[in-house]
Structure 1
Amino acid sequence: MNNSGTFTKLRPQSLLKQLFNCSESICLQVFSNSVFWWVYLEEGKIIYATHSVEPFDRLERHLRRLSHQIPSLTSEVRVQLRLMFESDTHSQVVEHESNSINQPPEYQAIQWLISQQYLHSTQAAVLIPELVKEVLESFLLIKEGTYELTEPLNRMPIICRLNVENILERCQARLKSWKSFEPQISSPYQRPYLLITGKPSKQNLPDLQPNLTNWMKGFSLRHLAVIMNQDEIELAQNLYPYIIQGGIILHEPDPPFDQLPNTLEDLTQSSKLITLVNQKLVDVAEELSTTNSKSYPNIFEDNKTTEQLPQFSESLKENLQKLTITNNINPVIERVAAATVTSKKTYKIVSVDDSPTILKEISRFLENENFSVVTINEPLKAVMSIIRHKPDLILLDLNMVGIDGYELCQIIRNNSLFKEIPIIFVTGNKGIVDKVKARLVGASGYLTKPFTRAELLKIVFMHLT
């Protein structure tokens, strides 16, 4: 077999199976649609596999699952892990060229967890197959790309050895389950939105968990499953009837997850049309969910759904009518908020920044998610305000006039009332020195500017749940 090639004839699954009988240490490096995959093999067994799309997000999710059985894997330990081992974006680009000869940083992080006795080697041997399966699921969906076989200069410490055929069989079974939801669900990174909260007319639809409706605010199916401590396929099965009926709509994955291949073989003109329609509905849903409570016009009034959508050609309208699933849900639109579903604690968040623009954006992102946000634009007066408000979480800008975030964080931590309060640095600095220094002064996490609403919600929820 050649040491390099393309996937024009040789499919990803066939390539891996050919490596099953290899007796050497090999790194398979694959490139497709701006994404790198690395599969490390030792004597025909898989040692580890990773890809370049948010590897520490993947590790965080699986560690959070394990934390239900392993109390030592606290959120503080998981944050420390990211501060120590996660590279910034520039470093990741450089590492693409050397990752085949060096250990992946998240693999080093797992070894550190073992060395510090946060994780036993037998527990790590349970964690790694789950990480590998998730990576290989996306790898098997590659349709076009290049591959290269290299021999690592340094042997990776082996935590477990995985049989290629067995793990491929499990991945294929998992992909078959995902494909059963096509075309409504094409990626586990799609983000569900609850569009209609009216009571379904069909009584055979399952009830959604109240907690699930609270969290359905921009998180992907994969992230939601972790938050709910539920299997991804089971979660998709629970949501699928509502997706079919139109009560839940799916937004396409956020960058960079949109670079990963999806389960659909081809995006036909019709499925592209469905995407456009869903995008329009998501825009409506987000607009409703970010507006103060009031009476909303019925967008499905007189069942003229098609007229509310963007203007398409007559032929596309005909296709749309054939593809549109009848909406049997009560068409009354309500504002989707936690208060409409169940009583829920309102968390108080203090945001300290000398930029009114940043404070305004943070308030806009958070206040509509049942958070009470207190903004402080005079950092020198922040300590007394924080003591007075007693927040559940603090967002702290790093670079401010008069006092920097490091000093302010240290002062806050010296107060016994705030020893355990999560403090998240919000900054444009991406260097490893900044992250280490943040850890030393007691920061709980790190949010890099510019950030999206989903990124802000993800780190806030991670530290409040």
Structure 2
Amino acid sequence: MSSTSIAYVNTARTLASVSQQRATGELTLANGEHRWRLYFFQGRLVYATGTLHRVRRWNRAIQRYCPAFHAAQAPPGEPWEYQLLSQSVAQQQVKVSQAEGIIKTSLEEVLFSWVSNPALSTNWSAVQRFSFKDNLALSLLLSAAEVEEVLERAQQLWKHWKTLELESLSPYKSPILKQHLQTDAAIAASPLANLSSFLTGRYTLWDIACHAQRPVTTVTRFLLPWVQRGAIALEEIADLPNPLKLPPPVKPVAAQPVRPTIACIDDSSTVTQALASILEPAGYKVLKILDPLTGIATLTTSKPDLILMDLVMPNVNGYDLCSFLRKTPIFQNTPIIILTSQNGIIDRTRARLSGASDFLTKPPDPQALLNLVRNYLKAMMSGTPTVNCQCWEDEEVEG
């Protein structure tokens, strides 16, 4: 029997034993300085977490199942993630289905670490953290069948990871594009350019997979050739600050809402006015630019939060203008959305290679335009770049 099969069987047996004995306590898995903990009550799983990137794991689960949720400080007690979920469900800030998704996502990542590392030592500690009085909290606990289902997913993910020969890599590491290659023309013209904002040492492979909404195997396999060439380094990075130690947010007194500025570059005043009629009622300030050449000074002064740009204009085309703006430091990270009636695959590909963030057919559907603008502005405000995933092909997790 392979080491992978042994680890899976031992994990399944341990979890089944806890369930059958209706045990209450903590199962600790240790590997050097890192520890993972699975909390149980009456044989049902409460939560699974670990010291390695604990806050990042929580943030990924929140982003996946309830991205609009903003948590205050969690109540005291461990695991604080579960305490916060239980409190949020009670206050109807989070749905039960969302809370269960968060619990299962964290469990899957912890079990992936377990089945991929047969050398992990295990220790059981009988600790009473819940009682039958905690009716709401107990309604979120996972049954043995649910835990087994998550374990099977973690095992399949690890088998696929091995099949792709990624065993020497850790999804907890951060890919970093070598500094001397960040302006390299070959990199800029490759699919890697769409991911360059994430190759800065701030995101792990798990983080990037979450933002891209792709399996971590897909993301890692896509980056592997660049790692093997030495263009990308994989390095350890620290966890994010623990939200339990952060002071509660302070609301500014009588603060005036900031209206994001959106520049609309099109030689047709009819088009810019039509865009303004969609954006201004939604609370945006619209900067209309009919002549892109003379309007560059206006762009530099106004520093818009997002740019909508036509492709076909007198004197300059949108591809060249987009490429020029991307070479200007203040616009390197500004979302640029191409609006044009030229909707062919060649046009889209050329737009991406010119540095465009996205592409909409003209005339755009008002709701589609507003949704796209909101998504990019939200990502900019949070400091999180958006991922253009069209360069990747989805991969099924193989059995």
**TM-score using structure 2 length:** 0.50
